[in-house]
């Protein structure tokens, strides 16, 4: 696997057009000036996608910045009020699709079945999926973390119809322990290493035959002070960053920390 890492900014339901345009232009400027060789992806709220995509895509010299969305419909066109399909997002340059974030699973009651339908639709259409998995604190305390993650992976990837036709390099798994998200307390390096190793082993089994193993990235209170250590852990192929990605200086430092 390439050593190139991927740093993904999840802006959630934050910011205004003005603030996110400014944040985007500061990221673009940093990518022009600094030697950041890793891939950087921003995930703005849907409504700002067209404008921010134009800002990103009009900078032809920057090859390592892409744009994506934080959620996507499981359905093709039709009577699905409020939903947005990958085809619509693609029209505005969206390359990455985040699926199954714990906030969507927990607050918006997204089921494993819905998540699996989203993942299958995207992969069957050769799109890039960032699939979030991770355990709650209660599950961790009961030592159920690995079985929860295994269930999430099997449910989302286990029943892909034509596995041999799926490009596994279109899959990114974001390991996000729910207790670490927005808490200011990231998982320990040892826990991250162990869980990423477990996920990779599991992916090898689920995705057989699998020539290219999906990237596995870590998310949960990554910031500019812990990113270097986290990104140096064996088996960590990148990070998914929430809170700290809304601050240009912190996010650029995270992107430059390796």
**181 near ligand PEP, rule: CB under 6 A:** yes
The residue (of 214 and 238) whose beta carbon lies closer to ligand PEP is: 238
The residue (of 44 and 243) whose beta carbon lies closer to ligand PEP is: 243
> Which of 173, 192, 178 is CA-nearest to residue 230?
192
Going by DSSP bridges, is the β-strand pair 171-175/39-43 parallel, antiparallel, or unpaired?
Answer: unpaired
Catalytic residue among 38, 101, 103, 135: 101
Question: Can you tell me which of 203, 242, 254, 257 binds ligand PEP, judged by CB under 6 A?
Answer: 242
> Which of 169, 174, 138, 137 is CA-nearest to residue 153?
174
Q: Tokens standing for 83?
A: 């939903």
Helices (H), 13-98: 17-33, 49-57, 86-91
**220 near ligand PEP, rule: CB under 6 A:** yes
247: exposed, middle or buried (Cβ count in 10 Å: 0-12, 13-18, 19+): middle
Q: Is 176 a catalytic residue?
A: yes
**221 near ligand PEP, rule: CB under 6 A:** yes
Q: Is 101 a catalytic residue?
A: yes
**182 near ligand PEP, rule: CB under 6 A:** yes
User: What phi-psi label fits residue 44: left (phi over 0), alpha (psi between -120 and 50 degrees) or beta?
Assistant: beta
Residue 53 Cβ vs ligand PEP, minimum distance, rounded to whole Å? 21
Q: What is the DSSP letter of 221?
A: S
**176 near ligand PEP, rule: CB under 6 A:** yes
The residue (of 5 and 207) whose beta carbon lies closer to ligand PEP is: 5
- Stretches 57-65, 79-87, 104-112, 219-227: which one binds ligand PEP (CB under 6 A)? 219-227
The residue (of 49 and 166) whose beta carbon lies closer to ligand PEP is: 49
33 near 248, Cβ under 8 Å?
no
**171 near ligand PEP, rule: CB under 6 A:** no
Sign, CA torsion 145/173/208/234:
negative
**240 near ligand PEP, rule: CB under 6 A:** yes
**243 near ligand PEP, rule: CB under 6 A:** yes
Q: Give residue for tokens 């990235």.
A: 217
User: Which are the catalytic amino acids?
Assistant: 101, 176
Residues making contact with ligand PEP (CB under 6 A): 10, 176, 181-182, 219-222, 240-244
């Amino acid at each position: 696997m390439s050593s190139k890492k991927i740093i993904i900014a999840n802006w959630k339901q934050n910011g205004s057009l003005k603030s996110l345009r400014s944040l985007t232009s500061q990221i673009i400027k940093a990518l022009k000036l600094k030697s950041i060789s890793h891939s950087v992806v921003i995930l703005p709220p849907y409504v700002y996608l067209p404008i921010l995509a134009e800002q990103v895509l009009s900078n032809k010299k920057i090859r390592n910045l892409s744009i994506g969305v934080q959620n996507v419909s499981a359905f093709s066109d039709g009577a699905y009020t409020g939903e947005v399909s990958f085809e619509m997002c693609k029209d505005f340059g969206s390359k990455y699709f985040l699926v199954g974030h714990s906030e969507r699973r927990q607050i918006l009651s997204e089921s494993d079945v819905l998540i699996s339908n989203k993942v299958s639709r995207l992969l069957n259409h050769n799109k890039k999926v960032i699939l979030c998995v991770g355990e709650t604190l209660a599950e961790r305390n009961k030592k159920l973390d690995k079985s929860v993650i295994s269930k999430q992976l099997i449910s989302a990837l286990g029943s892909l119809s034509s596995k041999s036709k799926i490009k596994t390099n279109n899959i990114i798994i974001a390991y996000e322990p729910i207790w670490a998200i927005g808490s200011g307390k990231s998982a320990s390096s040892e826990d991250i290493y162990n869980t990423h190793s477990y996920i990779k082993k599991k992916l090898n089994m689920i995705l057989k035959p699998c020539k290219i193993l999906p990237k596995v990235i870590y998310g949960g209170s990554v910031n500019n002070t812990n990113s270097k250590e986290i990104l140096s852990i064996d088996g960590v192929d990148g990070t998914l960053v929430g809170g700290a990605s809304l601050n240009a200086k912190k996010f650029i430092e995270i992107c430059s920390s390796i």
